[in-house]
Amino acid sequence: MSEQDGVLAALSEQRIETPSWAFGNSGTRFKVFSQPGVPRDAYEKVADAAAVHRFTGAAPSVALHIPWDRVEDYALLAKRAGELGISIGTINANVFQDDDFRLGSVCHADRRVREKAVAHLLECVDIMDETGSNALKLWFADGTNYPGQDDLRARQERLAECLLRVRDRLGPGQRMLLEYKLFEPAFYHTDVPDWGTAYVHCMRLGDAAKVVVDTGHHAPGTNIEFIVAMLLAEGKLGGFDFNSRFYADDDLIAGAADPFQLFRILHEVRRGGGLDPATDVVFMLDQCHNVEPKIPGEIRAVMNVQEALAKALLVDLDALGSAQETGDVLGANGVLMDAFATDVRPLLATWRSEKGLDPDPLAAYARSGYGAQIAAERVGGSPAGWGA
């Protein structure tokens, strides 16, 4: 197989998952700007996710967020998704927006609140059963704002106990993905602040539990690809929440702020065997589009991830290995830089054409009229947002 054929084949294996919340209105604590055509319910979000897949051919699943995407009949939602050519991906739990969770959820000192949080997590596993989803994504807003506010160790024990109950409820083939975040909304301490803490919990929970790396959840300057390499080597990388950050958890389009970082991460994914579908690494996007149109924003993110992956696939691993073994510092670095500097857009255009797609997904989307159609159709009702 030629190098180009190998890259094209590997690109076809990658599946990128869009987040349902990317299609709803979003913003900052200063202002949520509403946009025309925004979905009013989970069915319309699924339709928009399917549009992203139609134009990219690379985003065949959509993650749900519960309760934002609550519907009467989850099997029907999954069926509709299937009719549109996509499936339901990760189920994201939400134990951070109920007043009872002011001081935490699974780490809360009050057993009643912890029971309420666990009940929600178990409901999410029920939704996995109904939709055919095989992964539960857990991000906890738990933490404290002031030293002494609560007992750090006791909170870890409560967390472990709750996670175990969720693990015991998982069915065959189902997994739980634990996401860490350095800070926010709590500022003194976060209960799952880093990959080490997430890893310790996942180790105790066994094979069904893996760590999610959200690229926006680290201190500035953190070497994320090192974390990826470590987790992959230990068989504990569950997946990514790709997005871009300039300052904090900015949730901007993946590859927009630092395409070189995305390339370095995907190089380590490749090196660690994470592109093998058997490892089940989920390539999710976790983005919000506050000022740009949402569907094109998701299409752009999918294209950026594909470009970074294509460059990572072009790294000459033999040349890199030889340079590393002989201590050729500049040579080794040059191998990576050569791959990164390659313009892979013609290669991706070929990949798309071979799949019967337009080589320019954004232009094809603009021509399709889908944006104008949903703006005309979706009138009345309440546009979806972080609370719907």
State yes or no: residue 249 binds ligand PSV (CB under 6 A): yes
Burial of 156 (0-12, 13-18, 19+ CB in 10 A): middle
> Which one of Mn ion, ligand PSV, none interacts with residue 298, CB within 5 to 8 A by kind?
none
Q: In the bound complex, what is the minimum distance in angstroms from residue 387's beta carbon to ligand PSV?
A: 13
How does DSSP classify residue 42? H
Nearer to Mn ion, 81 or 213 (CB): 213
Quote the tokens at residue 157: 């024990």
Q: How far is the CB of 46 from ligand PSV (least distance, A)?
A: 17
CB of 19 to Mn ion, least distance (A): 8
Pairing of the two strands 143-144 and 189-190: antiparallel
- Tell whether omega for the bond before 185 is within 30 degrees of 0, i.e. cis: yes
At closest approach, how far in Å is the CB of 137 from ligand PSV?
6
In the complex, which residue's CB is closest to ligand PSV? 139
- The 218-247 contact track toward Mn ion, x by CB under 5 A, reads -----------------------x------
SS3 39: coil
- Give the start-end residues of each E strand in the chain: 16-19, 61-65, 87-92, 135-138, 143-144, 175-179, 189-190, 209-214, 237-242, 282-285
CA 361 and chain centroid, separation: 21
Single-letter amino acid, residue 329: V
The answer to whether residue 142 forms part of the interface with ligand PSV (CB under 6 A) is no
Closer residue to ligand PSV in complex, CB, 297/371? 297
Residue 249 partner contact from ligand PSV, Mn ion, none using kind-dependent CB cut-offs of 5 to 8 Å:
ligand PSV
Q: Which of residues 49-108 bind ligand PSV (CB under 6 A)?
A: 92
Contact between 241 and ligand PSV (CB under 6 A)? yes
Q: If binding is defined by CB under 6 A, does position 214 make contact with ligand PSV? A: yes
What is the identity of the amino acid at 227?
I
Stretches 78-86, 97-105, 222-230, 284-292: which one binds Mn ion (CB under 5 A)?
Answer: 284-292
Among residues 96, 89, 93, 116, the alpha carbon closest in space to that of 174 is found at: 89
Cβ 174 to Mn ion, closest distance in Å? 20
Shortest distance, position 173 Cβ to ligand PSV, whole Å: 22
The reply to whether 181 sits near ligand PSV by the rule CB under 6 A is yes
**Cis omega (within 30 of 0) on the bond before 193?**
no
Q: Which is nearer to Mn ion, 64 or 339 (CB)?
A: 64
List of long-range contacts for 108-112, beta carbons under 8 Å, 24+ apart:
108/142, 108/158, 109/150, 109/154, 109/158
> What are the phi and psi torsion angles at 209 (to 5°)?
-115, 130
Of ligand PSV, Mn ion, none, which one sits near residue 69, judging by CB under 5 to 8 A according to partner kind? Answer: none
In the set 142, 150, 225, 286, which binds ligand PSV (CB under 6 A)? 286
- Amino acid, res. 360: D
Report how far residue 144's alpha carbon sits from residue 186's, in angstroms, rounded to the nearest whole number. Answer: 5
Note whether 214 binds Mn ion by CB under 5 A.
yes
Residue among 66, 208, 205, 80 nearest 128 (CA): 66
Q: Of ligand PSV, Mn ion, none, which one does residue 48 interact with (CB within 5 to 8 Å by kind)?
A: none
313: left (phi over 0), alpha (psi -120 to 50) or beta: alpha
Is the Cβ of residue 69 or residue 286 nearer to Mn ion in the bound state?
Answer: 286
Closest distance to ligand PSV from the beta carbon of 68 (Å): 9
Q: Report the partner that residue 44 touches, choosing among ligand PSV, Mn ion, none (CB closer than 5 to 8 A by kind).
A: none
Q: Among 281, 328, 329, which residue's Cα sits nearest to residue 305?
A: 281
Q: How far is the CB of 88 from ligand PSV (least distance, A)?
A: 16
> Nearest-CA neighbor of 44 among 20, 61, 26, 27?
20
Contact between 139 and ligand PSV by CB under 6 A: the answer reads: yes
Which listed range, 8-16, 248-256, 280-288, 334-342, lies at the site for Mn ion (CB under 5 A)? 280-288
Nearer to Mn ion, 281 or 374 (CB): 281
What single DSSP character describes residue 373?
H
Partner whose footprint covers residue 92, from Mn ion, ligand PSV, none (CB < 5 to 8 Å by kind): ligand PSV
Measure the CA–CA gap between 273 and 232, rounded to whole angstroms. 8
User: Residue numbers of the site for Mn ion (CB under 5 A)?
Assistant: 214, 241, 286
User: Residue numbers of the site for ligand PSV (CB under 6 A)?
Assistant: 92, 139, 179, 181, 214, 241, 249, 286
